[in-house]
Structure 1
Amino acid sequence: MSLRPKVTLFDLDHTLLPIDSDHSWGEFTQQIGWTDPVEFKRRNDTFYAHYIAGTLDVHDYVRFAVEAIRVRDQAQYEEAHARFMREWILPALREPATALVRQHQQAGDTVAIVTATNEFVTRPIAQAFGVAELIAVELERGADGWITGEIAGVPSMRGGKVVRTQQWLAARGWDWLDVETTFYSDSTNDLPLLEQVDHPVATNPDPRLRTLALERGWRILDLFPKT
């Protein structure tokens, strides 16, 4: 039996949620009139297709995705995000996912969500899961204290998830060998972190990850059908 502290990491979109919160936020901004319903949808769908294919330029995407927030103030954003949570996110929470998070928390694991979606969209979602530790794309702030549209530091995407998780561990006085790590993810975009941890779990995996998990003997967990 391992005496190392247990750290359990969760991807968010299509892993704990049956939807992509980043793409859904974009659709929501169309719904409330913050973005052009035709041009924004075209670009949003194109960026999402690049993400699925593993070819997304995260810096270009974040500039695009947060523009509707950047040109508004924090009060407007918070009001809109509260509505987004009520209408889009809370109806998408599934008991198998929330129960899995609780199971690890009740076992005494240190639990974190590690996502390529930005902190503004995902922090309230992490809170809805009862998870305080969030490793997400952090947004640069200008002299006025509001976001600029650029990313601060290393984006938590693909290999960046390993870097950011390493930084998060170091802030707690840990290295990889000090802890027993588990990571749940649906996507081959997360292959670098899946290969880094002690226990990779292909969760609602995309076809490429399912094939790879079968080849490598990784655990496969289907919490809910992919949509």
Structure 2
Amino acid sequence: MNLALFDLDNTLLDGDSDHAWGQFLCDKGVVDPVEFKARNDAFYEQYKAGTLNIDEFLDFVLAPLARHSREELMKLHDEFMNDVAFGMINEMGKQLVNWHLAQGDLCAVVTATNAFVTERIVRYYFHVPHLIATVPALENGRFTGKARGTPAFREGKITRVNAWLESMALDLSCFEKSWFYSDSANDIPLLEQVSDPVAVDPCIALRLRAETLGWPIISLREKSQDGAGSGIILQA
């Protein structure tokens, strides 16, 4: 059995689900459409620049969850799934995931975006059985607006992946091959841990690192003249 790990936002998805959820809340009038949008956009730019303070961001992005009941949030998330997330699904990303699932690989999505936003995207649209995400804290059945445990961000992804594997009496050394697919330089720490790191439509910083270290660089978005995808063809 081999291991396949996938980043979600801008890797399997065409876009960032965390940022898209914030914009959705603005569009629905659930949050202040001016102030919240400005901060949502600013945090997203910090993420892309590699300067994001994850604690400040989580205080911001999880706060709306604490203001509503679970029932209200689920109704909003139903709309988000239908109106926003469905349109972000990358078909070549689904093919990549399906290839690994068909090989019998142990598969997980590893994302900094919180589990409330991402769980159903991962399970319903990609059929990946395991999700390693930032966990929103709960108290008496309601979200508190805080995160629980280590956020799945940068080095935190290593911590969370190792804990997940340990829960199954495994570690990375148990696998002949371990892949991690990501677009972001924020994921370089985890990419450096696996046997087969793959840069997917990478940002400039990740592309430079991948070129320096000889990591494969693939696209799940570019099309050839005949309409076929230009992503790498994997071999077992």
TM value normalised by structure 2:
0.91
Q: Which residue in 1 is equivalent to 2:128? A: 131
Q: Which residue in 2 is equivalent to 1:209? A: 206
Would you say the 8 A contact 2:62–2:136 is kept in 1? no
Instruction: Give the 5 Å matches for 1:79-90.
Output: 79-90=75-86
Deviation at 1:59? Answer: 1.8
Q: Which has the higher contact order (CA 8 A, sep 6+)?
A: 1
Query: Paired residues, what number?
Result: 220
Instruction: Give the 5 Å matches for 1:58-97.
Output: 58-97=54-93
Q: 2:100 aligns with which of 101, 104, 108?
A: 104
Deviation at 1:94? Answer: 2.1
Instruction: Give the 5 Å matches for 1:163-202.
Output: 163-179=159-175, 180-202=177-199
Would you say the 8 A contact 1:114–1:156 is kept in 2? yes
Is 1:48 aligned with 2:38? no
Q: 1:35 aligns with which of 31, 38, 43?
A: 31
Distance 1:177 1:150 in 2: 33
Would you say the 8 A contact 1:59–1:150 is kept in 2? no
Gaps of 5+ in 1: none
Deviation at 1:145? Answer: 2.3
Q: Give the fraction of aligned pairs with identical amino acids, expressed as a percent.
A: 42
Q: Kindly provide the amino acid, as one letter, of the partner of residue 181 in structure 1.
A: S
| Greater mean alpha carbon deviation, residues 92-101 or residues 13-22 | 92-101
Instruction: Give the 5 Å matches for 1:143-182.
Output: 144-179=140-175, 180-182=177-179
Q: Kindly provide the amino acid, as one letter, of the partner of residue 90 in structure 1.
A: F
Q: Kindly provide the amino acid, as one letter, of the partner of residue 213 in structure 1.
A: A
Q: Kindly provide the amino acid, as one letter, of the partner of residue 197 in structure 1.
A: V
RMSD over aligned Cα, in angstroms? 1.0
TM value normalised by structure 1:
0.94
Gaps of 5+ in 2: 223-236
Deviation at 1:33? Answer: 0.7
Deviation at 1:204? Answer: 1.0
Distance 1:214 1:150 in 2: 38
Would you say the 8 A contact 2:63–2:146 is kept in 1? no
Distance 1:117 1:95 in 2: 21
Q: Deviating runs (4+, > 6 A) in structure 1?
A: none
